[in-house]
Structure 1
């Protein structure tokens, strides 16, 4: 029945469609789809446009670049070319010559879906994108083997979106032009395996097999192939010759990947993993290369500061090398038995610019090769007492505002756990200043200092100077160097900060890299204020006494007229090691000297790499670190440069205080009585000046006199005498001799008494027929042939010496037999003078401080082999 409407308007109203009808919604949906399609099309066009923009300047696939690596040019500090690294040196192999085990190892490690993708593995790209979102762009690359060939051949190493897109684009192109086997062949012939032969890079799987296993590629084994595959991620860090433990760990990861993907069985995995890296490696020796010690540091820095390859990327590398300083370092390294006690004796040292941190020269070790162990940077040895300014007295001045005269009691003491600590001489000085404690290298005051500072503040101070001390492994024994160890490079960086007003700059050899596409990367580290200027200067002033004071332990390194400072450090062997190898009780393991001037800083380690029979430092060889430091500083330091006392430091009676801090520790006004009525007499027959003086009889038993002199402005040895007479030997007519006498006791010192003996009017008699006339440097007393009496660490019987530093508390006594003692070279221009015993006094002793420079200058140079 039809519906009836009351009016025509009602009918129209009821028949009009409502807003919610399907027809209306269908129209809206079409609009939304149209909008989405439009946006998608615009977005797609935008993506395509962006893609084409990013690849618009992409390089072309150059077949020559695929085959031949580009050499890099190394420049010294003055812009002169010193080396070209990367000229082709490889053994090329075809795909058919590549063993299956090598292919499996590389695919399992670098690109498991190599045979499935078209140049880019989308699954890896997605994973890399997610990693980059969480870890920052560049944290993961997701590169396939094809992409690595492209990147190493055509692109710069910068991690940017543009470079990555170009890499994808070129990888697709490469896959269109070459087969998978050809690409794998290109990759394995081009991949870099760390630096090696003649300072050039080892690249290509065949050359790597020759280098690290001394065998043809066809003979390579599973663990060897896994070792090489593991190197690709970080060639120098996983270099098996240089870092065997890290390389072994990386090899085992590769083996686990091979097992995971079914390339090897469980038994093969277990057997290969059990082989120690030391037994696996048989390195093919390098030939000597000029400046290879420095170049090794350059290569490491370039690789650590980017993913550039020195041997394949055609870089221009600007460095800090001072060729004059490096030539001196190489000459020292190549000295023979006239300087070193044995062929196995090792040293590693580095010279840096105190103000900039730039590395000027490196002594990487004796009989080393490019790419091998660098004894200046790679080894970590206990620093002994050289750590005391860094972890003890530096933090104390910085945090506790101590003065250099802060008093501390040297007495029987123990660590917090009750373990006793001893000084090397097993004696105690009572109340002394921290200046004297550091100068004499006392252990007990050092421990007390770190306890007062607190381990946390000490550790933070050390870390501010370039170290990486972990909180959980930082103990009180760090105060005297009793921990795993440091490198000579690290010590140079830390000490230079004291000489640079407290500003730390990490030692570095590279200032700038210029890539093939002309982009640049500056590698100069940022300066960091690690401490206050007063802390830096006060430590510097105390370290002056280590080399300048008669009671200091570093006098053998002192250069008269040069404002230099420094610190010695020695360590000994545990009792079980001494017993195992038959070492004497006073055998030294490591000997250090770290010193600096306002211009340069030198850090020297000496010792043996491994424990073997006779591999220990004796009474003479323990001094070689000081001689090396002295030679390097004489060659490079500017004698006119002086350390400047900052306004924040106040000096009162030779002690330093922080301006504005309390002055409770100002030295007392009371001084000892000086020597009285000093007289002198020159005996022309013996060449001696005889001295006499008077002193109160009640004070004489407790008083020692320090007698020092300069002959024609050249400092002689300081004597310590008990009594009121002394003899100065080796004086000749025509000399002007200035003599200083200082009375000393446990209560302090006197003002110096100075006299001058002018012999310019005295004419030296000549009598060529007189058999009693003696020639040479010595004057008959033997003083000039003695090692530096009060600075060599050997007690001379006067009770004032601390002994050779033994930071583990064992005493050092003179040796009866020392197979490590070097022989003093014959000097035909200076005949040895007979001694009272009928021969040369102490004939097996090493150079004395007064003779060392002359001996090395006049040494027959044909006995010294210099690198070419």
Structure 2
């Protein structure tokens, strides 16, 4: 049988015949045409057509060769890509844990897809708040029409394939690579079920490969009926007549037609089956539950589903025609209002939600090989990760285990409510409602934020977020930053000073009038002690001038920042450069959690443990996807921690927290602590630690709507009683967590030496009135951090002027003078531009070229309820003062400034104009 000619062979012969027709000589036969396949050279006497045919043959031959090369190259490239793809696929398969039947069953049949929250000890709190309604049903509770409609529409080969359709996957892959088409039908119902119940919705090749693997395994584990039922219970179907998102066919049927899924008609089933492709487009309801004005998209989609059912031989032509004519618009339910959900633990729900979402965002960013700091700089990119993490929480059935102990949390709430009315007076004023713009009465209460955490693990055991969650959702324990006042001194000043061997617990420090470039710190009530005192006394009584003197000495080495960073408190270099920070003068402030965590470092023998609320997160199968790391870091040596514990115990036994004695169910000898108060009693703090736990408490007003409320002068005492009331309530049923039977042993590196009480040094001789004089006297035990007591010198203390030392030595040797007589700062000295700290009775700043002092606050503007900034946050200790210019976080949307404020006092009159909060220099 003759072999058929190819197209190019036929075309060549045609040219030959044409050439023969035209090539002849005087009626003679034309010479034989030379076939190019027989000769690689053209005869010299070749005619025009012979030349054409020759070149055509050469061209055809070249094209054949080129095509052969291209086909070979394409085959090699395809083989290479296929091989690499299969290798990548095999690599993923080897890395992916093979899920067991039970694991997959738990995941795909888990009807509650929103994350479940747990207290400590696997004590379930509840599920994350979501508007997605879902009621799972069994296979026999679903209309056969609906099952057929879903298969015909979403996966017509569902009953034939083994979980995937290779042809569809290839088509989808080519479409993605070519960049054409968005919906290629590449996913089977099995794959969609895997994506909805097991994997995230990200569209990476890795996730797609894992999806394929799991789909194949799912098809082997479960029957088609089981897979279809689970899909119908998992898919989303738009909104119901209450504006709520619905998941699963049962809620879809109830929400649209007020019917159970088993009772749906053919037309109703077809409508619901068409929703999953684009629920927001095809749903008949708006967000508020009312019907859309144009329902054509959903109804057209219903008819498309019916046609596919008819084409798939699921229904007859008569059934198809009848269902197309059904008017579903009359069957859709009228709008209804959903019932408000009532439940407790609002602060806990919100806290766990935020913490868990942040963890998932961090994980997603790391999976993409990015850095969280970089992502946060790109608002749009960060929001993308935020939405993805939020979706995972609300749709993937995670279990989020927290460290919050329900019993401890409840005890703290009860105790807080019992004593809340004693914290201070509520303030009522008339404000303009931001929504209605009408005058209304607004009452502001003294708020509280409290955190109790485990010193060794960093686990938050309980907290108090505020007075009334239903009225104010702001979490004062975790989300608000306030001026720390003197409560910052141990971490910022005394701890670093002991660590660097600048001081022992008996080192003397000056408390005399002092000016640092025009900055005049004072003690509480503008008092000045006019004497040298031990650092232990200075810390116990929270005197300000000694703290500033020590910080000034430390600042030369710029060491405080290093320790603060390790304890989780991050401040700016500008803040560290200002001496007012030694008294709590920060720009933005700190949170209660940060304070508790940093202070716990001393109780934990110098080791800081990063605090955490989430202990672990698991998927529905029980696989741990996040485990809280043991983030421990040594900040101070054991000897420093031991000496600081010794000094901080004095705060409780004989210092500013002495009133705690008798208010606790255990001896205060096991307690260390520190108080703190900001200017005009705006912020009141106490942080206390036993060997086992640390609890920090803050009280103050939120000062919404630009108000400027301050607490009373007895607020510090009230807060101490409040703190004791809460801690006693926790101790009653949880005494073991306090670990009162433990006590830090004295490290060998702590050296104990007898020193002179008056100088903190060894006895010795000095030059006094040009005479060498021996100095001795009452001695005391001093603790040194792996160092020795210093020899006596004329200037033996930290700080102090020549005049101060002369006053001391004259007094020491018997002369009568004013040494040790407390005086009050008069405020007559005009302070320089660098002044950033003032006394407890006034607010002043250098601003816009003029000096202001001792004046009352002026007026300001403030708007909104959301968290924002206000300017001129100031801070003082319990027994002194400091301020810091700049911004401070408060509850509000923007900035307000105190402006055009003048003050009149016994100390003089100054006028000032405050700049806005953004400049950081206004009131």
When normalised by structure 1's length, the TM-score is: 0.51
Tell me, yes or no, if the aligned pair for 2:678 and 2:878 is still in contact at 8 Å.
no
Tell me, yes or no, if the aligned pair for 1:461 and 1:530 is still in contact at 8 Å.
yes
Give the distance between the partners of 1:399 and 1:555, measured in 2 at CA.
32
Return the match for 2:714 from 599, 620, 625.
620
Query: Are 1:331 and 2:414 counterparts?
Result: yes
CA drift at 1:52:
7.6
Return the match for 1:405 from 486, 500, 506.
506
State the match for 1:535 in structure 2. Answer: 640
Q: SS of the residue aligned with 1:365?
A: coil
Give the distance between the partners of 2:792 and 2:208, measured in 1 at CA.
66
Give the distance between the partners of 1:91 and 1:808, measured in 2 at CA.
54
C-alpha spacing 1:371/1:302, structure 2 compared with 1 (3 Å): farther
State the match for 1:751 in structure 2. Answer: none
State the match for 1:38 in structure 2. Answer: 76
State the match for 1:863 in structure 2. Answer: none
The 5 Å alignment of 1:366-765 reads 366-369=467-470, 372-416=473-517, 418-429=518-529, 430-454=531-555, 456-476=558-578, 477-483=580-586, 484-520=588-624, 521-549=626-654, 551-556=655-660, 559=664, 561-562=667-668, 563-572=670-679, 587-610=680-703, 615-634=709-728, 635-636=730-731, 637-652=738-753, 655-664=781-790
CA drift at 1:300:
2.3
Tell me, yes or no, if the aligned pair for 2:195 and 2:201 is still in contact at 8 Å.
yes
State the match for 1:319 in structure 2. Answer: 402
Cα displacement string for residues 192-223 of structure 1 (whole angstroms, at most 9, x for unaligned residues): xxxxxxxxxxxxxxxxxxxxxxx937699xxx
Q: SS of the residue aligned with 2:525?
A: coil
C-alpha spacing 1:119/1:363, structure 2 compared with 1 (3 Å): farther
Cα displacement string for residues 561-620 of structure 1 (whole angstroms, at most 9, x for unaligned residues): 241010000112xxxxxxxxxxxxxx4111000110101100101011115768321133
Cα displacement string for residues 751-775 of structure 1 (whole angstroms, at most 9, x for unaligned residues): xxxxxxxxxxxxxxxxxxxxxxxxx
Query: Are 1:47 and 2:85 counterparts?
Result: yes
C-alpha spacing 1:47/1:119, structure 2 compared with 1 (3 Å): closer
Q: SS of the residue aligned with 2:648?
A: helix
Q: SS of the residue aligned with 2:703?
A: coil
C-alpha spacing 1:600/1:336, structure 2 compared with 1 (3 Å): closer
Tell me, yes or no, if the aligned pair for 1:67 and 1:190 is still in contact at 8 Å.
no
Give the distance between the partners of 1:74 and 1:350, measured in 2 at CA.
20
Give the number of equivalent residue pairs. Answer: 519
Tell me, yes or no, if the aligned pair for 1:296 and 1:371 is still in contact at 8 Å.
no
Q: SS of the residue aligned with 1:421?
A: coil
Cα displacement string for residues 469-494 of structure 1 (whole angstroms, at most 9, x for unaligned residues): 22244332211111121010001110
Which piece of structure 1 moves more, 347-356 or 405-414?
A: 405-414
Tell me, yes or no, if the aligned pair for 2:640 and 2:785 is still in contact at 8 Å.
no
CA drift at 1:37:
3.9
Give the distance between the partners of 1:473 and 1:119, measured in 2 at CA.
55
The 5 Å alignment of 1:134-283 reads 153-155=197-199, 162-163=206-207, 165-166=209-210, 185=238, 189=245, 216=288
CA drift at 1:655:
4.6
Tell me, yes or no, if the aligned pair for 1:376 and 1:488 is still in contact at 8 Å.
yes
Give the distance between the partners of 1:545 and 1:406, measured in 2 at CA.
15
CA drift at 1:167:
6.0
Q: SS of the residue aligned with 2:675?
A: strand
CA drift at 1:340:
3.7
The 5 Å alignment of 1:15-164 reads 34=72, 37-38=75-76, 40-48=78-86, 50-51=88-89, 54=92, 69-77=112-120, 79-86=121-128, 89-90=131-132, 153-155=197-199, 162-163=206-207
5+ residue gaps in structure 1? Answer: 1-22, 93-116, 127-146, 192-214, 221-283, 573-586, 669-697, 704-743, 748-792, 795-801, 811-868
Cα displacement string for residues 661-701 of structure 1 (whole angstroms, at most 9, x for unaligned residues): 13117999xxxxxxxxxxxxxxxxxxxxxxxxxxxxx99x9
Provide the aligned C-alpha RMSD in A.
Answer: 5.3
Return the match for 2:358 from 304, 308, 315.
304
Give the distance between the partners of 1:384 and 1:121, measured in 2 at CA.
63
CA drift at 1:633:
3.2
C-alpha spacing 1:538/1:122, structure 2 compared with 1 (3 Å): farther
Give the distance between the partners of 2:472 and 2:67, measured in 1 at CA.
69
C-alpha spacing 1:546/1:336, structure 2 compared with 1 (3 Å): closer
Give the distance between the partners of 1:804 and 1:598, measured in 2 at CA.
25
CA drift at 1:621:
3.4
Tell me, yes or no, if the aligned pair for 1:407 and 1:433 is still in contact at 8 Å.
yes
C-alpha spacing 1:41/1:118, structure 2 compared with 1 (3 Å): closer
Higher gyration radius (CA): 2
CA drift at 1:745:
8.4
C-alpha spacing 1:590/1:667, structure 2 compared with 1 (3 Å): farther
Tell me, yes or no, if the aligned pair for 2:691 and 2:740 is still in contact at 8 Å.
no
CA drift at 1:125:
11
CA drift at 1:299:
2.4
Q: SS of the residue aligned with 1:485?
A: coil
State the match for 2:446 in structure 1. Answer: 345
Tell me, yes or no, if the aligned pair for 1:403 and 1:655 is still in contact at 8 Å.
no
Give the distance between the partners of 1:359 and 1:305, measured in 2 at CA.
16
Cα displacement string for residues 320-343 of structure 1 (whole angstroms, at most 9, x for unaligned residues): 223332122111232266534337
State the match for 1:787 in structure 2. Answer: none
C-alpha spacing 1:378/1:183, structure 2 compared with 1 (3 Å): same
C-alpha spacing 1:293/1:540, structure 2 compared with 1 (3 Å): farther
C-alpha spacing 1:659/1:67, structure 2 compared with 1 (3 Å): closer
Cα displacement string for residues 759-818 of structure 1 (whole angstroms, at most 9, x for unaligned residues): xxxxxxxxxxxxxxxxxxxxxxxxxxxxxxxxxx99xxxxxxx994342389xxxxxxxx
CA drift at 1:372:
2.6
C-alpha spacing 1:170/1:388, structure 2 compared with 1 (3 Å): same
Cα displacement string for residues 636-657 of structure 1 (whole angstroms, at most 9, x for unaligned residues): 3343332332222123456543
State the match for 1:805 in structure 2. Answer: 879
CA drift at 1:90:
4.4
5+ residue gaps in structure 2? Answer: 1-60, 135-170, 181-190, 219-227, 248-286, 293-338, 362-388, 427-443, 732-737, 755-779, 795-812, 823-839, 842-875, 885-923
- Choose between structure 1 and 2: higher helix proportion: 2
C-alpha spacing 1:183/1:613, structure 2 compared with 1 (3 Å): closer
CA drift at 1:660:
3.8
Cα displacement string for residues 485-505 of structure 1 (whole angstroms, at most 9, x for unaligned residues): 101000111011111111111
Give the distance between the partners of 2:752 and 2:573, measured in 1 at CA.
36
CA drift at 1:310:
3.9
CA drift at 1:363:
0.5
Which piece of structure 1 moves more, 311-320 or 357-366?
A: 311-320
When normalised by structure 2's length, the TM-score is: 0.48
